[in-house]
Amino acid sequence: MHVILVTGGAGFIGSNFVLNWLANQQEPVVVLDKLTYAGNPDNLAHYQNDPRLQLVVGDIGDRALVEGLLSQHQPRAVLNFAAESHVDRSIHGPADFIETNIVSTFSLLESVRGYWQNLAEPARQAFRFLHVSTDEVYGSLSDTAPAFTEQHRYEPNSPYSASKAASDHLVRAWHHTYGLPVLTTNCSNNYGPYHFPEKLIPLMILNALNGKALPVYGDGKNVRDWLYVVDHCRAIERVLAAGQVGETYNVGGCNEKTNLEVVHTLCDILDELQPRADGASYREQIRFVQDRPGHDRRYAIDASKIIEQLGWTPQESFETGIRKTVEWYLSHPEWVEKVQSGAYREWLGKQYAE
């Protein structure tokens, strides 16, 4: 029986990937996750007694641990979701981003290279290292510029995107120099269940329900392309199964929205599903606040390569996906309660003090 190793599998996208994988396949998964503030074993609770899932708490930069896991489980693939992922946190404190996204990714690549080089054929031929990255490495687009293709040059603007860009370059180099069979995906903004509420969509849902301000940065006209997380997970499965070694694939939802449009949509769905006691709209809680430094204006993904070459398409529209997401937060009060811990409240105090 084959096995896959998923790093960062207790985070938002990683846990959705693992849940989706175990629901649809027999192949076991070993999750390696450091359980930072963003990692949450509760996300995987549904499979906690399933022998196909093993959660190992540790750092991708721990050579001894990673090499031990590789040698013990002999995975046919390593999927790297582990990262520091929040732009605002990278502005307050870039060091963790440099450490995990660059230094520890380098260490992971070295561990994996050593393992892969010693595999016997045909396992060596079949092995894949799939690196999950972001569209933010391409920088910011004007309102009318064409969407990012895989050929777009790297122009990262935040400490987060610069650290992800560096990791993408390392992955590329480990393929070109050492022949490591890598695949890279660059995805747009994900949303859906288990999203840690520091990011726009879950933050707005929870702030609305808690009667707090809905803090929209700047003029609210920054544009993001939104992809339902399960569609992203399906894309990663497809790239793992059929992607060409050494290639990168852009993944997007074809759902460009301004932040204000997103917040309005969330307010309207909440007005319908859980109206405010006073009958007013949640839109009344919207507040325009100081802009994020260096705030990228627009991201847009041209996903034609993965659509045409690998036959992937998103199944969820923004309208269906965002409704499912709000419904998920309303129907999981225990998860919501637990993630709003002291550390989370500390972050809100730091970021939204004014």
Q: Out of ligand TYD, ligand NAD, none, which partner does residue 132 contact, by CB within 5 to 8 A per kind?
A: ligand NAD
Ranges within 26-45 binding ligand NAD (CB under 6 A): 32-36, 38-39
CA dist 42 and 246 (Å) reads: 34
Shortest separation between residue 313's beta carbon and ligand TYD, angstroms: 23
Catalytic residue among 138, 160, 191, 194: 160
| 135 is an active site residue | yes
Q: Which helix (H) or strand (E) holds 224?
A: strand 223-228
- 189 phi, psi to nearest 5 deg: -65, 125
* Residue among 120 and 343 whose Cβ is closer to ligand TYD: 343
Which two structure tokens, joined as six digits, stand for 75? 């995975």
How far is it, in rounded angstroms, from Cα 299 to Cα 302? Answer: 10
Indicate if 228 belongs to the active site: no
Concatenated DSSP letters of 96-157: HHIIIIIIIHHHHHHHHHHHHHTPPTTHHHH-EEEEEEEGGGG----TTSPPB-TTSPP---
Judged by beta carbon, residue 69 or residue 326, the one nearer ligand TYD is: 326
Q: In the complex with ligand TYD, which residue's Cβ is closer, 203 or 303?
A: 203
Binding site for ligand TYD (CB under 6 A): 87, 189, 199-200, 203, 215-217, 222, 224, 259, 292
Residue 11 interface partner, choices ligand NAD, ligand TYD, none, CB cut-off 5-8 Å depending on type: ligand NAD
Q: Is 61 in the site for ligand NAD (CB under 6 A)?
A: yes
Among residues 97, 142, 132, 89, the alpha carbon closest in space to that of 296 is found at 142
Q: Closest CB to ligand NAD among 33 and 302?
A: 33
The tokens of 309 are what?
A: 């070459």
Report the alpha-carbon distance of residue 27 to residue 39 in Å, rounded. 23
CB of 174 to ligand TYD, least distance (A): 26
300-338 burial, b at 16+ Cβ within 10 Å, e below that, comes to bbbbebbbeebebebebebeebbbebbebbeeeeebbee
Task: Report 181-220 residues binding ligand NAD (CB under 6 A).
Answer: 187, 189-190, 196
Judged by beta carbon distances under 5 to 8 A according to partner kind, the member of ligand TYD, ligand NAD, none in contact with residue 100 is: ligand NAD
134 near ligand NAD, judged by CB under 6 A: yes
- At its nearest, how many Å lie between ligand TYD and the CB of residue 87? 4
CA 299, 300, 306, 312 torsion: positive or negative?
A: positive
Q: Rule CB under 6 A: which residues touch ligand NAD?
A: 7-8, 10-14, 32-36, 38-39, 59-61, 81-83, 85, 100, 104, 132-134, 164, 187, 189-190, 196
Q: Would you please indicate which residues are annotated as catalytic (active-site) residues?
A: 135-136, 160
